[in-house]
Amino acid sequence: MSMVSEILMRLILRIGGYVYGRWKQKVQV
C-alpha cells in the first residue's frame, strides 16, 4: 500500500505541476 500511495503522490505532483505551469503561462500571456 505504501508503494502504491507513493506512486500516486508522484503522479499527482507531476500532473499538478504540469497543469500549473501551463495555466501560469496562459494567465501571463
State the DSSP string of 1-29: -HHHHHHHHHHHHHHHHHHHHHHHHHHH-
Q: What gap in Å lies between CA 22 and CA 29, rounded to an integer?
A: 11
Q: What is residue 10's predicted lDDT score, i.e. its pLDDT?
A: 98
For the chain, the straight-line distance linking the first and the last C-alpha, in angstroms and rounded, comes to: 42
> Residue 24 is part of which domain span?
1-29
- pLDDT tens-digit readout, 1-29: 799 999 999 999 999 999 999 999 988 87
Q: What is residue 28's predicted lDDT score, i.e. its pLDDT?
A: 81
Domain count, the chain: 1
**Reported pTM:** 0.57
